[in-house]
């Protein structure tokens, strides 16, 4: 039987293919085990970018022109706010279910759990467990987002692009454990013990009692929340939620937080109202308590077009007000697109800078901001 080069070539290819098939068969059990381990894990995340203009600050990067709570590096610039990747294995319906959640993030607004941001890029990392007591208690153990306040760490989930004063005074993250229990369709509670994490630069550094984003890890806190959801029997108010929340320090040198907030449906289709009250009590410094009052209005005109309005008043040794108006139009799939205008004002004296070439010495009473924000969710 004669063999030419073509015949030898085909035989070689066949041998390689058979060898590859054998190796694939040998590896198959390992791959199956790997697939079984990760098949219930969900990968998601978002990319948050923005462009910002601070009126009255021509060509400068003066931090004093920035509203409280925003990164000073954003003045008159293009910004990569956050790139967040989430890994999640949610609890199933079984009595002894378990899972986990991880948030990794990078960027100007990235929240890094741990003292002085040492935990970057981890924002959240916790194990979830269910114990079959009553309706089932769901536990989190690890680093998790704070549970007090009207606004949350995930920026696009808030009605406005810029953060509220109320957001600044609530702990952004906790390290410890917390349990969630649904008493009934109307009442849900959470309770736990944790320590606060330094997740953001303190916007109220000159007022330590108000600066709860930079309280160190040594503070142990008791956390408790109650959520009340309006039933269908309340007519147009059905689905409205009231939250009663507190973070209480377990020692005499602690700082206590109290938050009462809610979102309320109205008889007008697409219109919802929000109310927020946040109080900070500094037991160590014994200074005057800080009180922040917030009002929100959101109107969903169409499936794509929405209007959001926020107004706040800070009742503290230094008194502030701010009004923020946001238009959201989701033109592209998976993209949140927002245009925002914000006005901040200090009641007495000066706090902001007028854009002088001289060093950033506060010289004006008002600050104005215009921002374009785009977020791609995947």
Gap between the Cα atoms of 101 and 125, Å rounded: 6
Q: Which are the contacts of 244, defined by CB distance < 8 A and separation ≥ 6?
A: 225, 226, 227, 228, 259, 260
Q: What is the pLDDT of residues 324-351, one digit of tens each?
A: 999 999 999 999 999 999 999 999 888 7
54 — pLDDT class (breaks 50, 70, 90): confident
Determine the average pLDDT of the residues in 225-245. Answer: 97
Gap between the Cα atoms of 341 and 323, Å rounded: 8
195 — pLDDT class (breaks 50, 70, 90): confident
Bridge partners for 43 per DSSP: 87
Predicted pLDDT of residue 121? 85
Q: Average pLDDT of the chain?
A: 81
């Amino acid at each position: 039987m004669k063999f030419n080069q073509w015949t030898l070539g085909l035989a070689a290819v066949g041998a390689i293919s058979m060898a590859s098939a054998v190796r694939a068969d040998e590896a198959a059990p390992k791959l199956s085990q790997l697939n079984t381990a990760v098949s219930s894990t969900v990968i998601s995340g978002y990319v948050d970018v923005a462009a910002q203009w601070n009126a009255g600050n021509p060509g400068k990067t003066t931090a004093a022109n920035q509203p409280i709570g925003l990164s000073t590096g954003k003045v008159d610039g293009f910004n990569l706010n956050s790139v967040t990747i989430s890994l999640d294995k949610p609890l199933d319906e079984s009595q002894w279910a378990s899972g986990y959640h991880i948030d990794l993030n990078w960027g100007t607004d990235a929240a890094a759990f741990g003292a002085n941001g040492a935990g970057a890029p981890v924002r959240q990392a916790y194990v979830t467990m269910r114990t079959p007591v009553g309706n089932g208690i769901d536990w989190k153990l690890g680093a998790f987002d704070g549970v007090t306040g009207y606004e949350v760490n995930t920026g696009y989930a808030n009605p406005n692009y810029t953060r509220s004063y109320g957001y600044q005074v609530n702990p952004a993250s906790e390290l410890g454990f917390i349990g969630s229990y649904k008493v009934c369709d109307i009442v849900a509670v959470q309770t736990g013990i944790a320590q606060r994490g330094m997740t953001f630069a303190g916007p109220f550094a000159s007022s330590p009692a108000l600066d709860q984003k930079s309280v160190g890890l040594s503070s142990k806190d008791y956390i408790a929340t109650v959520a009340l959801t309006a039933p269908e029997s309340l007519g147009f108010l059905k689905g409205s939620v009231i939250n009663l929340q507190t973070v209480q320090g377990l020692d005499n040198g602690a700082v206590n937080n109290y938050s009462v907030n809610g979102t309320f449906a109205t008889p007008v289709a697409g219109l919802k109202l929000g109310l927020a009250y946040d109080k900070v009590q500094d037991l160590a410094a014994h200074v005057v308590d800080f009180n922040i009052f917030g009002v929100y209005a959101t109107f969903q005109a169409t499936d794509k077009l929405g209007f959001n309005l926020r107004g706040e008043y800070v009742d503290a040794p230094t008194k502030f007000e701010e009004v923020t108006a946001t238009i959201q139009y989701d033109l592209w799939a998976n993209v949140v697109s927002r245009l925002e205008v914000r006005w901040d004002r200090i009641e007495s004296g000066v706090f902001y800078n007028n854009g002088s070439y001289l060093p950033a010495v506060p010289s004006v009473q008002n600050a104005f901001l215009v921002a374009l924000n785009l977020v791609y969710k995947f």
